[in-house]
Structure 1
Amino acid sequence: MAALDEFFFPYQKRWLADKSKVKIFEKSRRIGGTWVQSFEDVQDCIEQPGLKVFFSSADMTAAAEYIDYCESWIQKLNAIAKALAEINSEDIEDCEFADEDKGIKSKIIEFNNGSKIYVLSSNPKAFRSKGGKIVWDEAAHHENDQKMWAAAKPAAMWGYPIRILSTHNGVNSLFYKLIEKCKKGELDYSVHTVPIQLAVEEGVADRICGRKLSRKEREEWLEQEHKGCLTEAIWQEEYCCNPQDESKAMISYDLIHSCERLGVLGLEKAKGPLYLGCDVARHRHLYVIYVFEDIGDRLICRAVEAYQNKKWSYLEQKLYKFLKLPNLVRGCIDRTGCGDQFTERAQDKFGTVKVEGVLFSNTVKADLAITLLQAFEDQKLIIEKCPKFPGIDTKIEDEQAESIHAVRKIVTSAGNVRYDAASTEQGHGDFFWGAALAYHAKNASDAGPVFIQTANPFKGESMNFNGF
């Protein structure tokens, strides 16, 4: 079979070379997982007379694709066998592995040596009373994955191999749980993890583009695929082998979208009092400003801006244009870390009544997070649908929604609860905290004077805002 090496990428060759009884393929979408598995199954049927292979995928369209792949391999292998027979002056009629006209049907492939490949439905009962090699494709996307595994595993009990292939589908699937048990050493199954980045490194993008790509071209190809995903969660789960735990998100996508409207931005539309929230950052994370108008029963976003890698003087200028507004009642600024002196300068210019500094502790963040969640649940906030932010270099279609969705409730090993988001090049839940601070500005104004823990005043060298 060495002549077929040209058909496979390195990660596919590693899969074929692994003869473990149970193999799991944790993979990106469309990198040839089912393609290489169909070859392994055809090869096994040729080399093991009388073998039965039982294949099941999430739906029959995927199963039909698998049959097409098997048919393609049989045609290739038949052609190779015939060519070798001609070279060796052997009987060409006896060298076919399967009859391409009669042996390949919609749900079964019959080989001349008695081996068969059966394509089963996604009904768990389909594996019952079967014995042979088990191939479970798109395992994380079966509706009854627990029952599927319960039915499939005993079918291979007498020494037959099991192959499990899938992209992820959250953290509640049996597929995810099997992989976690393997990582913890609780199962000795072989796990092959191939995210899109590895697949591209080993030649997928080159094959798609029909030529050898440079490293920069591969990075650009990945960036375009990333941009094409509607959400960061899709990119992470479907392409990066990183399952998303929707259940732990503070604010779900559905809840975010329920509070979105088109065309609400515009300070010229604001007739009522305004409230501002500012999450301060400069380099890796995002500097985010929200301005909401109070219309009586809810707050409507009239301005939202985000910046990255800008000078402090530039960011200060963006903030002050809003603080100068005569109908802006109160602004709450994140004064944690570098935000401390930033807040202090704003208070010196506009007063402590108009500008409040909020120091992010676990307790304060918990209060802000829970209050913002309640605001979304009660439809007390209206935000612009999918706004654009020229001030940041983003690869994400909807930066605002992704950032709000990114904040999770995290329980530490010590039992402590904190609210945070993963720190990435796209931020750190910055839109979430900007909106939370703006909503807090309104609540704090309604409640009158409140005590907010502030950072210690700077004793040493001050930040040079004009020098950045």
Structure 2
Amino acid sequence: MKLAPAAAMPLPPTLKPLAQEIHYIAEQRSPGVFLGYQARWVTDRSKVKICEKSRRIGLSWAEAEDAVECAASASGMDVWYIGYTKDMAIEFILDCAQWAQQMQGFVTDIEAGEELFIDGSERQSILKFSITFASGFRITALSSTPRNLRGKQGRVIIDEAAFHTDLAGLLKAALALLIWGGEVRIISTHFGDENEFNKLVQGVRAGRLPYSLHRVTFDEALADGLYKRICMRLKMIWTAEDEVKWAAEIRAQYGDDAEEELDCVPKHGSGAFLARELIERCMRKDWPVLRDHRKPEFTYAPESARKGEILDWCEEFVRPELERVRALRDVTSFLGGDFGRIRDLSAFLPLIQFRNLRKRVPFIIELRGMPFQQQRQILWYVIDGLPRFGGAALDSNGLGMQIGEETAQRYGVTRILQIRASPQWYLANLPPYKAAFEDDMIELPMDADVLADHRVPRVIKGIPQIPDVRTVDADKLKRHGDTFIAGALAWHASRELLGGTVYEYQGVPPKGVSWDGPRQDHDEDHELGARRGAW
């Protein structure tokens, strides 16, 4: 079936919605046309990009504009759109036609029909809708059978990917186009946590797949002006009160499905973040967890006494573990630190990386009731004793802010990451830590409390988080996932700081004093350090 060329007659009324916004477009994009999340999507030039999104926020409409830009350009390429229904294909082609008209894209033909091809000994046909441009390239909407991409080249758009019957096969066919310079765009709301689309998203978050990932919830779309744009189209007056009421009505319409349909939370996506079996598989015997619990009166002991006691403790318990680590060859070390004072404990977790990129936690330090000065003293003792120290990530929310800042001042702000964790940080950085367990790339000390800490994180509204609940250790003392947080921070440091240059050095001891252990730069009291043999 042939339709009249777009340049020969006005577009029918079905192609005229959204004209108010598109009126502002002439020969190039106008920033005012796109909402923030639409602009971020179309300006992302990654070869493969993915968006998990809320329903009906206009992302496919923005993708249609980018498709026209691509196909209408003399240096562009063919664009292949794959939706899971015929209506989606028609709607996308009509959106493209409208964009082309407003952008003077020089459409030469709009066509609907069937394309015949040979599949083995069978003659098969593909239902397609396409727009051909003067550039020689075209935008074609195909059905969602993977074989439809056979022999094709260009950009592939997979819309509502979670709802395709064979997404894995479709992705396999689409990604093959990258070999000769093609591109892949994957857009979808969620359809269950076991769906291939969700597995794809989690693979990107875990760092296994080098693709660009976007996430747009209903609330984020509202914050970027979605309801204001709807009011403009419908010639309504926008008010904040009306927006709140409208948003509540939309959520009520979706009922129990609102989280999945609007908030990018796949159903059944709740529960423990790490399975017990996964954690236990990565645990090793005979690696210690060094614990120290101080009584309240220790805080107000004379400073020299506190320093001396803690240095003795470090020399007795920490130094042998550091010497064992320093005996390893060709390793780089990192560290994660989570700070507590009264209710929660502090946890320092060194992470040793080998040449094959496997990582080992040779020991963990847990501190309770420890004054802040002595927490810093122990932290610096460990850092000074680690071989080829690459850097650390320290929890710098609340209690940890001062120690994080002082440690960055001492070792350099490029090597000490001061992390103020938020749900967005958890969403971006906890999946790679989980992937380390899934891929058997990390080893931890075998310890019941460490295991319990790693079972604390839960997936809440699609985001792994540390809930405001506390577990109890063997001594009936409360914990809050402290070693999990320290481990996730150490893993983050190893990923963020890996590309930096690592220098190993030993400080020169004061004249007449031998140095036979980890460098202990107790700036406030060199004499005490000399007495303990650290300087």
- Shorter-chain TM-score tier: 0.3 to 0.5
TM-score between the two structures when normalised by the length of structure 2: 0.41
TM-score between the two structures when normalised by the length of structure 1: 0.47
